[in-house]
């Protein structure tokens, strides 16, 4: 896998934070858990239920030694979202996330949760038309 980074950009690989001083392309030759800087959510940005879930999974990816310790907060946040959410798209994708996390596929979990942010935002803004229906008509 080839990853291109700009000068000053960071990448998180297997728990290590790397910053490059010039434009560079990295080639990962084996399996590695990585997260690009633009995919990293700061604590202050975790202000919605799905963003909080994302943040927990992000920590599992960035700090592999803490993944097991973060599994309980992940479960608690997941249960909180599932018990309050009525949107079937969110519920179905979060069920997929449970399987992905159990398999240690954190990067895919983050991608799945990130895709739900627009739906969550539409629900928060009261735009139910933008958020897909919760029941079959």
End-to-end CA gap in the chain: 44
- Domain residue ranges in the chain: 2-38, 41-124
> In this structure, are residues 101 and 60 in contact, taking their beta carbons and an 8 Å threshold?
yes
Helix locations, 34-104, DSSP H: 49-62, 67-84, 88-102
- Residue 33 is predicted with a pLDDT of 78
Query: Which residues, in sequence order, are CB contacts of 80 under 8 Å at separation 6+?
Result: 49
Whether the full predicted model's pTM is greater than 0.85, yes or no, is no
pLDDT in tens, the chain (137 residues): 888 999 999 998 887 889 999 999 999 888 777 888 888 888 999 999 999 999 999 999 888 777 888 889 999 999 999 998 889 999 999 999 999 999 988 989 999 999 999 999 999 888 765 555 544 43
């Amino acid at each position: 896998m080839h990853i291109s980074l700009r000068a000053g950009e960071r990448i998180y690989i297997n728990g290590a934070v790397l910053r490059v001083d010039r434009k560079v392309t990295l080639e990962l030759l084996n399996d590695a858990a990585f997260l690009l800087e633009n995919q990293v959510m700061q604590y202050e940005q975790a202000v919605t239920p799905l963003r909080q879930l994302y943040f927990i999974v992000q920590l599992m990816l960035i700090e592999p030694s803490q993944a097991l310790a973060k599994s309980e907060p992940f479960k608690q946040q997941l249960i909180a979202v599932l018990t309050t959410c009525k949107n079937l798209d969110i519920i179905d994708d979060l069920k997929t996330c449970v399987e992905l996390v159990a398999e240690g596929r954190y990067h895919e979990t983050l991608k799945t949760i990130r895709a739900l942010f627009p739906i969550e935002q539409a629900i928060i803004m009261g735009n139910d038309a933008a958020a897909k229906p919760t029941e079959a008509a």
